[in-house]
Amino acid sequence: MTVRFTKEHEWIRIEGNVGTIGITDYAQQQLGDIVFVDLPAAGTKVAKGAQAGVVESVKAASEVYAPAGGEIVEVNGALSDAPATVNSDPEGAGWFYKIRLADPAELNGAMDKAAYDAYVGTLH
């Protein structure tokens, strides 16, 4: 299992040709209390960098982008009833959707945890 991060603060956990996607702990901290998550429907095809959802907090709404292209195979329906899960466990139970990767090589430029942490350190 490999986890990669984007400069837009999404993470993707790759297992085989399926990636599980969510937002990082840093992103949820910046957003504050999350009150709503709008996710794509299973079967939706998305391109790398395309909007693939919206997360709304008491402070702002923020788009969620696809770190790689492919077809959405599952969404985390529990977030519709408990969007605050994204705050309490952003890189675990607060995942957004799973995507069957069209081309895993699209993730070659994504950061590992150490590189992402270093990038976040430059944002303060």
User: For residue 58, what are its two tokens?
Assistant: 């008491």
The count of C-alpha atoms lying within 13 angstroms of the C-alpha of 46, restricted to the half-sphere facing its C-beta, is: 26
Burial of 43 (0-12, 13-18, 19+ CB in 10 A): exposed
**81, 75 in Cβ contact below 8 A?**
no
User: What is the CATH code for 2-103+111-119?
Assistant: 2.40.50.100
- Distance between terminal CA atoms of the chain? 30
Residue 54 pairs in a beta bridge with: 38, 63
- The string of pLDDT tens digits covering residues 53-109 is 999 999 999 999 999 999 999 999 999 999 999 999 999 999 999 999 999 999 999
- The string of pLDDT tens digits covering residues 17-61 is 999 999 999 999 999 999 999 999 999 999 999 999 999 999 999
